[in-house]
Structure 1
Amino acid sequence: MAITYEVIDNENIECCRDLCNELMVFQKSKARIAPELFDNMNFDTRMIPSIQSAIYNYVAIVKDDNHIVGYVYSNVSSKETYSNDFATFFDLSSVSKANVGCLSQFYIKEEYRGHGIGSVLFDMSMKWLNQFDEIDDYFVFVSNGNDDALEFYQRKGFQYSHEILDGFISVLRNNSR
């Protein structure tokens, strides 16, 4: 493996299309609650709108030679962004500042898992998020059935907060700044 990491700008996110779509298929395959909700989730309905509504975006990709094998997408957004027609993701009054940090999407192809790549991407993302003084609260939203992801984030300091949409999503939070 010839692994490299690269931060890309918003104009180049198209290179994440296939992996984002793979992530949605993967999440559906793991889901025990309402897997059909993933049927309409893809790059165009999840990543593009999120990037457009965020204040700041961060996308890092991982390559093996020239093949993209994983990515992480994080953002800083107004806390009101997380109360919409789909769901209210957390109690807005529990967040003291106007903005929150979110590790929004994280995916590594299966054959590249277990090699520390996820930890590198996570650390890159958290380093980026930690530079913003206007946020104290960081969130990760884990789809039901993705127990490996839930455990990964908990090992990295995120605590289980609550579930939304009748258990479809687990909300993890870190506000230890």
Structure 2
Amino acid sequence: MNITYDVIPDDKIEICSDLCNELMKFQKSKALIKPELFDSMKFETWMVPSIKNAIHNYTVIAKDGDKQVGYVYSNISRKETYSNDFATFFDLSSVRGSYVGCLSNFYIKDEYRQYGIGSRLFNMSIDWLQQFEYVEDYFIFVSNGNTNALEFYKRKGFSVSHDILDGFITVLRKHKKDFH
């Protein structure tokens, strides 16, 4: 195994479309609440609009040779971006500044889990998010049924804040002051 990590510029984001679509299928397979909501979630309807609405984007693809094995997508967005037709993801008044940092998409192919790739992608993403001094609140949204992801983020210091859409998504949060 020879894992490399490539940062993908926004204008080349279609490179990770297959991984994003795999993530949505994976989430649907795990979902216990409203799995049908994933039917309309795919690269073109989920990730592309997120990239267009964000102020800053950061996407990293993990590869084993030429094979894409995982990715992470994070962004800095105005907090109002997270109150839309789909849902209100958090109480906007609880966010200290005008912007939030979100680890938005994160996926590793099953056969590549447990090799530290997830921790590496997570750390790269968090390091990137923390460089924006004006951002004080960080969020991660975990789909229902994905208990492995939920536990992973808790081990990384994020706390469950609340659920939205009747438990369809669990919102995790961490404040800048809580990072070491």
TM-score by length of 2: 0.97
Gaps of 5+ in 1: none
How far did 1:11 drift?
1.1
Partner of residue 14, structure 1: 14
What corresponds to 1:170 in structure 2?
Answer: 170
Aligned-residue offset at 1:8: 1.1
User: Are 2:101 and 2:135, in contact at CA under 8 Å, matched by a contact in 1?
Assistant: yes
Partner in structure 2 of residue 141 of structure 1:
141
Instruction: Flag as ranges the 4+ runs of structure 1 deviating above 2 A.
Output: none
**CA distance, structure 2, for counterparts of residue 176 and residue 55 of structure 1:** 19
Structure 1 partner of 2:32: 32
User: Residue 155 of structure 1 aligns with which residue?
Assistant: 155
Residues 1-177 of structure 1: pairs in structure 2 closer than 5 A:
1-177=1-177
The answer (yes or no) to whether the contact 2:135–2:176 under 8 Å persists in 1 is no
> Once the 2 structures are TM-superposed, how far is the Cα of residue 176 of structure 1 from its aligned partner?
3.8
The CA distance in 2 between the partners of 1:176 and 1:3, in whole Å, is: 30
User: What is the alpha-carbon distance in structure 2 between the residues aligned to residue 17 and residue 7 of structure 1?
Assistant: 15
Aligned residues of 2:71 and 2:107 also touching (Cα < 8 A): yes
Q: What is the CA–CA distance in structure 1 between the aligned matches of 2:28 and 2:147, rounded to whole Å?
A: 13
- Check the 8 A contact 2:142/2:150 in 1, yes or no: yes
What amino acid sits opposite 2:172 in the alignment? L
Asked whether the equivalents of residues 56 and 77 of structure 2 are also in contact (C-alpha less than 8 Å), the reply is: yes
Normalised TM-score (structure 1): 0.99
**Cα shift at 1:6:** 1.1
Partner Cα distance (2:90, 2:55) in 1: 19
Q: Which amino acid aligns with 2:8?
A: I
Number of positions where the alignment pairs a residue of Structure 1 with one of Structure 2 = 177
**Separation (CA, whole Å) in 1 of partners of 2:3 and 2:143:** 27
Letter aligned with residue 64 of structure 2: D
Quote the RMSD (CA, aligned, Å).
0.6
* Structure 2 residue identity aligned to 1:62: A
Distance 2:4 2:41 in 1: 28
Letter paired with 1:107: Y
How far apart are the structure 2 equivalents of 1:176 and 1:152? 19
